[in-house]
Structure 1
């Protein structure tokens, strides 16, 4: 589905879903896949778009920025079309929309797996696997799966999330697929989950995440930039990708922190969502190109 205006193409998505749902599997089967995961320089530039399925719709000052699916898909297509962008991270609904739009040929596609810890919910730390399974990732011809691991020492639900992530890492490794683990040490503050972004907390989180599963052969980490990154990243030999987090009020400063962290030997790229898709000046192409320049 590549003809017509973007609005026409978006409108056609619902018609296809209602009358020809098998077209999604057909599009997945036709998708041209990359021969290797990383680029020639061993790096990866991934655009993240799995926030809505956890009920996290805000970006910058707009609490519902990601609620408009047509707008989000258009931004994703712009980002994926820029030189140097390797692929996307998303839940099945978004990945399948992009498949039908023909935006994923030759791209790395990582399926988001555990979205059950809804933002702001009383059960938020219970990050159950409610999106992609390993079997579904393999069946769709995707390149790996991503999981969120928030460790709250005071919440017993953490144990189930640890077990679920460990099983997913094992299953993905058994199929030769990337397991992207995003670990945090977390705790409740005034009833809300907050991630501890200290060097000590991230070092502990990385150490725990690195040991998940029966094999770490295909495990990657997705980590924030914190202070003393050299010491933090020394906690593991796993390749790591930097996450973007919230939309920065100072994009140049954010680029500078990424540039410094990307010089570390285990840091192999970026997984950035809202910072790229909803920049302050709304120039998606421009901010994506700037991030690619920092990476490459």
Structure 2
């Protein structure tokens, strides 16, 4: 199938929805390889998380997001993408997933700000569909809140998904956080080294095998000590930085030097950079990864 533009996506979806399955079947794939990876993430909207820095609705326009993704995926050194089915299928129809690694986002049910946020149900991809579509793995957000009963359901579901993906010999990308609720009920992820280390140990123990389990971890202080907590490959989370780009890039570069570092997964920081230049932001991240390979 020929690639289409953003303006044609709705027409194609309406007139020939079967073209999505055909495009998955025809997509050119690549291997993980042995070097560090740069993966662009775009699964935030499905959880109602549309904000970037001070703009609460920065990611509201799907056409704008897709155009930014198109720029990012066209840059040298970008290995793949992480997203929910709706976004990945748009990118697929646009011809942007050829020879890219593709990871499906699995649990988006813990909506930002909801009373059930930590009961993060698996409302996106499941392991069977990840296999059927020829994706390269699945990602699950696994927040651990000791004062929230929803954590138990999330841990169990994450463990089941990790076991199934390991059985299929596909990457099970687990993103753990040690989380708390404030007095207002808002969920906050604890980003001190000890909290991240505790989350690593819980996540690494989930499932009946860890042979294909990777961790997706935030870049925090004392990353050498943090990454010494596991032998699993770790993709470093770029996040939505509140500091200068220079400080952000320096922290990424230092963390990538650790033996457990397997690359970067970055979304908002690259797609919505402070100066608006997506290509330049992606190129800096790609250069950091390239120098660490």
TM-score by length of 1: 0.96
- Map of 1:33 onto structure 2: 29
Number of aligned residues: 288
Report the counterpart of residue 129 of structure 1 in structure 2. 122
Could you say what the CA RMSD is over the residues aligned between the two structures, in angstroms? 0.9
Aligned-partner Cα distance in 1 for 2:204–2:57:
34
In structure 1, runs of 5+ residues without a counterpart are: 4-8
Q: What is the aligned partner in structure 2 of residue 154 from structure 1?
A: 147
Aligned match for 1:70, one of 38, 52, 63: 63
Report matched runs for 1:1-296 at 5 Å. 1-2=2-3, 9-34=5-30, 36-38=31-33, 40=34, 42-189=35-182, 190-296=184-290
The CA deviation at 1:173 is 0.5
Structure 1 runs (4+) greater than 4 angstroms displaced? none
Unaligned runs of 5+ in 2: none
After TM superposition, the score normalised by the length of structure 2 is 0.97
How far apart in 1 are the matches of 2:223 and 2:8? Answer: 46
CA distance in 1, matches of 2:150, 2:275: 40
Change in Cα spacing, 1:76 to 1:258, as seen in structure 2 (3 Å) is same
- Distance, in Å, in 1 between the alignment partners of 2:133 and 2:270 is 26
1:280 positional shift: 0.6
Asked if the contact 1:114/1:129 (under 8 Å) is kept, the reply is yes
1:226: how far off? 1.0
In the TM superposition, residue 59 of structure 1 has moved relative to its aligned partner by 1.0
**Deviation digits for residues 97-153 of structure 1 (CA, Å, limit 9, x no counterpart):** 000000000000000000000001111001000000001111111000000000000
What CA distance in whole angstroms lies between the structure 2 residues aligned with 1:100 and 1:108? 16
Give how far 1:61 is off: 2.1
Give the 3-state SS of the residue equivalent to 1:67 in structure 2. coil
SS of 1:145's partner is strand
